[in-house]
Amino acid sequence: MTSIALKSFLGLRQSSPETTHFSYRPKPSTHRRKFTVVAGISSPKLDGRNLRVAVIGGGPAGGAAAETLAKGGVETFLIERKMDNCKPCGGAIPLCMVGEFDLPLDIIDRRVTKMKMISPSNVAVDIGRTLKPHEYIGMVRREVLDDYLRNRAKDNGANIINGLFLKMDIPKEKNSPYVLHYSSYDGKTGGVGEKCTLEVDAVIGADGANSRVAKSIDAGDYEYAIAFQERIKIPDDKMAYYEDLAEMYVGDDVSPDFYGWVFPKCDHVAVGTGTVTHKGDIKKFQLATRKRAEDKILGGKIIRVEAHPIPEHPRPRRLSGRVALVGDAAGYVTKCSGEGIYFAAKSGRMCAEEIVKGSANGKRMVEEGDLRKYLEKWDKTYWPTYKVLDILQKVFYRSNPAREAFVEMCADEYVQKMTFDSYLYKTVVPGNPLEDIKLAINTIGSLVRANALRREMDKLNV
Amino acid sequence: MSTTISMASFSPLTPISTTHSSHSRPHPHNNLFTLTLTPKNLSFFTLSPLRVSAGTSDSPETAVEPPPQNISVGTNGSASAVTAAEEVKVSNGFLDPRWVAGTWDLMQFRKNGTTDWDAVIDAEARRRKWLETNPESSNNDSPVVFDTSIVPWWAWIKRFHLPEAELLNGRAAMIGFFMTYLVDSLTGVGLVDQMNNFFCKTLLFVAVGGVLLIRKNEDVDTFKKLLEETTFYDKQWQATWQDENSSNSNK
């Protein structure tokens, strides 16, 4: 059964030309899988205690992982320094997350049902007209969501440690524990933490973009985009407009490879932009974003300025021994939309599920092969989503004419329906082939027209 | 935008914080505001404007709209001192007598009883060019409704394809002729027989497709770059699995 799953997985990835370096890949990996299954059965039973797993980082990924682990009978330690950290984050979650993670409705501040896409020549397109009455994009505050998920993990029996993870010692021998070093701040109000150590059998690194866990397993780096965001409190009459509406601005002035946004938050709006290629110019892009939204946010006061890196692709190594990375630490943020909360929580849960399964509910030791299953499953489930968004970004964010065409395309109801369905439910529903062909022709038409205009513009000297 | 990073860990990203000192300065303060953003925490909001105004005194552009007396600085250096915001927009915005209510007034483009689409294309190109250098605030009261698809398809073909069509036609005919000649001389299959041959038909399609796709020498490089670009992301994802192999072969 597992080998079948693996086969289709490899088939999926072969769509890209293989380099000679890993052309020998299929054979060793099947060997690996066999080895894993045998070892999994014969892995030693733990006596006198349950499996101990440490989750580093208390964001959505860490919270979801800790909850699943604790539920599965694993002795769980969650280490997080800032329990009430108000993180710089867009805070959009898809509808399916509410159901899958059983989130209470009151943690959702706003329900966005309308999106406005605004092209470089200021053509504004409303998307979201196809949404059904119960469908929406939830906007949450991260401090609320994170706290809720952590508390739920705690209720299920996870030990929450207020501490700063420093480093870990990787064991030389098989099955001996990892030793984590952290400074504990439990029961203290300030000052320096108390140096503590903790022995665990496996580690889940959910500590974000600057992950220390990733550093200690030498996971390598990823390209990152820098996102810049200002929280602006705007007058009530202007805020009414953003009641259930989010805006996306595209254009070379706003960002050469991403988009600028205005997202409604609990009682203010977040205005921001991001880029990978021109990080030094981010302030300029931010000014341009503000300029493009000027009429709608006039009179606003900036209450907070924040910036953060967004991973562009997974780290070269997401797993080593009994240490696995999830969420932003692993680099699971989509291109094009820059979405990550759902994928973080989902990857945390998936990783924890594999640990619970591999350890027979905490009764046996786990090993690398058990954790590998999580990676396999993850890539198999979400690789197409990531790839599609990557293609979209490459095709439509590459130049102003492409962006004009993108906005024109988004005016189409069929496109809106498909986009929202895949965003809200994270499943790619096959569309109507006739509509697909129509869409393809229209899109190519838009692209050709916009590029033709572009050529004219280049001739002009205004 | 759901990335997690604490304010403390932002500090390594110096390119931003050093170049814009007015922004990096408030950051240490953020640690004070670890209160949640719920409305009941009024202290957050009463405190924060103070902090921002401190920043704005150094760099006026940090405020969306500074107090009315220095509004001229706030609107991104548009020097016109302003009494009414309306006036700024009019003087700043794109102006053309034919641009009416967010679209090109087609009645003004009539020539000899028909719409002069070439002029519409010119005008729109000029508007977009203008907007690129002078980005304009989008406004809900005066939306842009012009859509390039109202220009009929033949107007685009006439303008952009026909000048090139002659060249492409000639090129395709030449290549086709020489290929036929070559095939004939090599295999002895005549022109009529070639038309009934699957291989030769494929060659014909390759020739036509090639002529259409590769119009200039640079096009070859563009395609190469595109291919690289499309596989780049795959490689980034596959890195994990390469690692698995190397660790296996080491064992």
Do the Cβ atoms of A88 and B38 come within 8 Å?
no
Do A279 and B127 make contact, defined as CB atoms within 8 angstroms? no
The C-alpha of A211 sits at a distance from chain B's nearest C-alpha, in angstroms, of 9
pTM of the model: 0.73
Is A252 in Cβ contact with B132 (below 8 Å)? Answer: yes
Distance CA A423, CA A443 (A): 20
Q: Kindly indicate the confidence band of residue B243, based on its pLDDT and cuts at 50, 70 and 90.
A: low
Q: How far apart are the C-alpha atoms of B174 and A299, rounded to whole Å? A: 66
Beta bridge partners of A198: A180
Asked if A94 is an interface residue toward chain B (Cβ–Cβ < 8 A), one would say no
> Which residues in B lie closer than 8 A to residue A462 (C-beta atoms)?
126, 129-130, 133
- Nearest-10 crossing angle of helices A368-396, A2-13: 30
Instruction: List chain A pLDDT tens, one digit each, 462 residues.
Output: 344 444 444 434 444 444 434 444 444 444 444 444 444 455 677 777 889 999 999 999 999 999 999 999 999 999 998 877 777 777 889 989 998 999 998 899 889 988 899 998 888 888 888 888 888 889 988 888 999 999 999 999 999 998 899 989 998 888 888 999 998 887 665 667 788 899 999 999 999 888 999 999 888 888 888 889 999 999 988 899 998 899 999 999 999 989 999 999 888 899 999 898 888 889 999 999 998 998 888 888 998 898 888 898 899 888 888 999 999 999 999 888 888 899 999 999 999 999 999 988 888 888 888 889 999 999 988 888 888 888 888 888 888 889 988 888 888 888 888 888 888 888 767 778 888 888 888 888 888 888 888 888 888 775
Please give the Cα distance from B9 to B13 (Å, whole number).
Answer: 8
The residues near A178 (Cβ < 8 Å, ≥ 6 apart) are A54, A168, A169, A170, A171, A199, A200, A201, A202, A203, A322, A323
Give A-chain residues touching B242 at CB under 8 angstroms.
21-22, 25, 316
Scan residues 49-68 of A and list those with Cβ closer than 8 Å to B: 57, 59-60
Q: Which residues of A touch B239 (CB under 8 A)?
A: 220, 314-317
Give yes or no for a contact between A409 and A402, defined as CB atoms under 8 angstroms apart: no
Nearest CB to B136 within list A28, A122, A234: A122
- Whether the CB of A298 is below 8 Å from some CB of chain B: the reply is yes
What is the Cα–Cα distance from B213 to B185, expressed in whole angstroms?
28
On whether any CB of chain B is under 8 Å from the CB of A32, the answer is yes
The residue among B2 and B217 whose pLDDT is bigger is: B217
Positive/negative CA dihedral, B82, B85, B87, B90: positive
**List of chain A residues whose C-beta atoms are within 8 Å of the C-beta of residue B126:** 457, 460, 462
Of how many residues is chain A composed? 462
**B49 to chain A, minimum CA–CA distance in Å?**
6
pLDDT for B3: 41
Q: Label residue B36 by pLDDT band (50, 70, 90).
A: very low
Residues near A103 by beta carbon (within 8 Å), at least 6 away in sequence: A93, A97, A145, A148
Instruction: Identify the closest residue of chain B to A212 by CA–CA distance.
Output: B9
Burial of A156 (0-12, 13-18, 19+ CB in 10 A): middle
Residue B119 DSSP class:
H
Q: Who among A17, A302, A335 is closest to B231 (CB)?
A: A17
Say which of B38, B127, B138 has its CB closest to residue A292. B138
Nearest CB partner across the interface for A333, out of B3, B27, B133: B3
CA distance linking residue A114 with residue A39, whole number of Å = 52
With CA atoms as reference, the chain A residue closest to B244 would be A29
* pLDDT tens digits along B106-149: 888 888 888 888 888 888 888 888 888 888 888 888 888 888 88
Residue of B nearest to A340 (CA): B2
pLDDT at B89: 41
* Tokens describing residue A380: 């198999």
Beta-strand (E) ranges in B40-194? 99-100, 103-104, 110-111, 114-115
* Residues from chain B contacting residue A143 (CB–CB below 8 Å): 36-37
**Count of other CB atoms within 10 angstroms of residue B35:** 15
A304 vs B contacts (CB less than 8 Å): 30, 33, 48
Tell which wins on pLDDT, B7 or A281.
A281
All residues of chain B having their beta carbon less than 8 Å from the beta carbon of residue A57 are: 4
Q: Contacts of residue B96 in chain A, CB cutoff 8 Å?
A: none
CB A462 to CB B143 under 8 A?
no
DSSP A330-384: HT---SSS---HHHHHHHHHHHHHHHHHHTTTTTB---HHHHHHHHHHHHHHHHH
The dihedral of CA B234, B240, B241, B242: what is its sign? positive
Q: Which residues of A touch B237 (CB under 8 A)?
A: 13, 313-314, 379, 383, 386
Do A253 and B135 lie within an 8 Å CB cutoff? yes
Nearest by CB: A338 against B1, B64, B231: B1
Nearest-Cα distance to chain B for A199, in Å, is: 25
Region B16-20: mean pLDDT is 39
Torsion on CA atoms B122, B125, B127, B131, rounded to nearest 10: -170
Binding-face residues of A in 244-273 toward B, CB within 8 A? 249, 251-253, 261, 263, 265-267, 272
Residue A107 sits at the chain B interface (C-beta within 8 Å):
no
| Mean pLDDT on B186-194 | 82
Find, in chain A, the residue whose alpha carbon is nearest to that of B226: A394
Decide if A372 and B244 are in contact by the 8 Å CB cutoff: yes
Residues of A in contact with B140 (CB under 8 A): 124, 241, 295-296
ipTM of the complex as predicted: 0.72
**Closest residue on chain B to A324 (Cα):** B240
**The two three-digit tokens of residue B135, written as one number:** 């980005």
B242–A21 CB contact, under 8 Å? yes
Edge-first strand order for the sheet with A301-311 is: A124-127, A114-118, A245-249, A260-264, A269-275, A224-233, A301-311
| A79 part of contact set with chain B, CB < 8 Å | no
Q: Which long-range contacts (CB under 8 A, 24 or more apart) does A27-30 make?
A: A28/B244, A28/B245, A28/B248, A28/B249, A29/B241, A29/B244, A29/B245, A29/B248, A30/A3, A30/A6
| Residues of chain A positioned with their CB less than 8 A from the CB of B143 | 124
Q: pLDDT digits over B149-174, tens only? A: 888 888 888 888 787 888 888 888 88
Strand partners, A53: A76, A202
Beta-carbon contacts below 8 Å between A and B: 300
C-beta separation of A121 from A407 below 8 A: no
